[in-house]
Amino acid sequence: MWQRLLMVGVLAVPACVSVAAAQDRAPRIELVGVVPKNSAEQFELAFWESIKDSNQASDYEAYLKQYPKGRFAALAQARLARLRAAQPAAATPTPKPPPPVVHEAAPKPPPAKTPAPTPAPAPAHTVAAGTDIKDCPACPTLVSIPGGTYTMGNNTSDPSEKPAHAVTVGPFAIGRYEVSVQEWNACAAAGACQKIAQRPNTSPTAPMRDVSWDDAQQYVKWLATLSGKPYRLPTEAEWERAARGGTATRYWWGEQMAQGKANCKECGKPWAEDAPANVGTFAANPYGVYDTSGGVWEWVADCWHNNYKGAPADGRAWDESDCRVRVIRGGSWREGVAYMVASTRFKYDASVRHSQNGFRVARSLK
C-alpha cells in the first residue's frame, strides 16, 4: 500500500458512472518521488495505488470502509461487484495440519532411583540476548532483545520519520517471525480469535494477514491467558530496535539494497505478486529476527503521530485516549525498495482489515 506518491492530474470518478465506464476511467497517478505522507489525500492515494490491480474483494471492501465517499469509491464498487460475480462463495478448505514442532532433545536423567531436581528457571531479566523463548506449545517463538540506547527515525527520509532521536529501551522479547496462519488458527480454534479465511492452498507457515489492530489484541490477550505472560504488541520503539538488529544503517544489512534480503517486489527472488513468502524464507538480522523488511506490514502498539516531536525517549508506547489510528511498520511484499528502510512507518485505522497487514508479538523481560 503505500507507494511514495506525487499526484499529477488526478481525475475524480463521478458516482453515477456505469460499472464498465468506471473500470475504464481509473484516475491517473504518476510516481515521481518522495512526498509527505501525512495528508489525507496522499493516504487515500497510497491506499488505492496498493490495491488498484488486486483481484481480492477484501481489498476493495477495506478501501470502501475506510473511504466510503472517496475519489475512487465508484471504481472500487464496480470492481468489487465484478469480483463477487466471478467468484462464487466456496467452502473454506480444511487447513493442513501444522508441521511438528522440533525441540532439542533433553539430556536423559542419571540412572538413579530419585530423579534429579529440576533447576529453578532463571529470573526473566537474566535471559541472554538472542535466546529463544517458548512460553507454551501454541505460543510463537520469541527471541530476547538487549536493552540499550539507539537512534530511532531518519532525518533524510519522509517527514513522518523525523526527527531522529535517541531512545532507551529495556530488554524485551519479540517474535522471531511474524505470526503465522497456523498460529492464528490455533487461537481461532480455541474460540478466542476471529476465524479469518485465507486464500485456498495458503501454507500454514504463511504470515497471517488481513487482520486489524483490534484482531491482534484478541490474539495477544489469548496468549497472555494461555501462558501467564504479559503478551502484547511491540511498541514502535521496540519494533525498530529489533528490526535494526543493532545496526544504524538504512537497512539492517547495510546502506544499499541487496538482492534476496527482503520480501518485496524489487528485492529479488523469491517473490510472487499474489502473496507474501512464508515466514523465515529470508535471512535473519543480527538479533535473529526474521522478515522485518517486507512480508506483511506489522501492527505495533502506538497511536499514530505525524512525526516524532514529543515522542517518548524510554521506549514505551506513545498512546492517546480513544486512539483509532495505529502505526504499522516494515512494508509488505507489494511495496518497493524504498519501503524496506528500517525507519519506514505508516498508519492504518485500527478496526480495518487489509490483506497486506499482519503482526508479530512481544513481551517484557523485566
- How would DSSP label each residue in 326-349? EEEES--TTS-GGGGSTT-EEEEE
Reported confidence tier of residue 39, pLDDT bands at 50, 70, 90? low
pLDDT digits 0-9 by tens, 177-215: 999 999 999 999 999 999 999 999 999 999 999 999 999
pLDDT at 177: 98
| Location of C-alpha cell 547495510 | 254
Instruction: Please say whether the structural domain 125-364 has been given the CATH code 3.90.1580.10.
Output: yes
pLDDT digits 0-9 by tens, 87-134: 654 444 444 444 444 444 444 444 444 444 444 444 444 567 788 999
pLDDT at 143: 98
Amino acid at position 79, single letter: R
Give the range among 112-121, 125-134, 259-268, 339-348 with minimum mean pLDDT: 112-121
pLDDT at 38: 54
* Separation between Cα atoms, residue 282 and residue 49, nearest integer Å: 26
φ, ψ of residue 83 to 5 degrees: the values are: -65, -40
pLDDT at 43: 67
Residue 60 has pLDDT above 50, yes or no: yes
Q: Mean of the per-residue pLDDT values for the chain?
A: 82
Q: What is the mean pLDDT of residues 237-250?
A: 97
Q: What is the mean pLDDT of residues 11-38?
A: 40
State the Cα torsion 108-112-118-119 to the nearest 10°: -90
Domain ranges of the chain: 19-86, 125-364
pLDDT at 350: 97
pLDDT at 129: 73
pLDDT digits 0-9 by tens, 324-337: 999 999 999 999 99
pLDDT at 22: 40
Is the pLDDT higher at 157 or at 299? 299
| Phi-psi domain of 331 (left: phi exceeds 0; alpha: psi -120 through 50; beta: other) | left
